[in-house]
């Protein structure tokens, strides 16, 4: 599991922060991992010896790539981003 992933957190104030990290789980566990992250009050990332705790209320949206090959049934697949504003 040495594949790299990128997480970009887009904040309500139009700023963003990004992290690069190793793949955390197999593709079959992605749906469960997403549910765990969304069920909390904050997104927590350990990076460079520090913990980054980001309240969900500060987040506009989160972008993770590359997308895993196996996705939950409720995900719209094959979309193209047309406008970010």
So what's the pLDDT on residue 1?
47
Q: Encode pLDDT of 5-57 as tens digits.
A: 899 999 999 999 999 999 887 766 766 777 787 788 999 999 999 999 999 99
How far apart are the C-alpha atoms of 33 and 13, rounded to whole Å? 27
- pLDDT tens for 54-78 read 999 999 998 988 888 777 788 899 9
Exposure of 9 by Cβ count < 10 A (0-12 exposed, 13-18 middle, 19+ buried)? Answer: buried
Q: Does domain 4-65 have CATH number 2.30.30?
A: yes
Task: Please tell me the distance from the alpha carbon of residue 85 to that of residue 47, in angstroms, as a whole number.
Answer: 29
Closest by CA position to 9, among listed 47, 71, 29, 27: 47
């Amino acid at each position: 599991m040495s594949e790299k992933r990128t997480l970009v957190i887009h904040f309500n104030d139009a700023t963003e922060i990004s992290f690069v990290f190793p793949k955390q789980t197999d593709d079959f566990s992605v749906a469960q991992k997403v549910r765990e992250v969304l069920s909390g009050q904050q997104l927590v990332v350990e990076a460079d010896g520090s913990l980054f705790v980001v309240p969900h209320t500060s987040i506009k949206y989160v972008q993770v790539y590359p997308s895993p090959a196996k996705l939950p049934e409720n995900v719209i697949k094959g979309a193209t981003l047309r406008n970010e504003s």
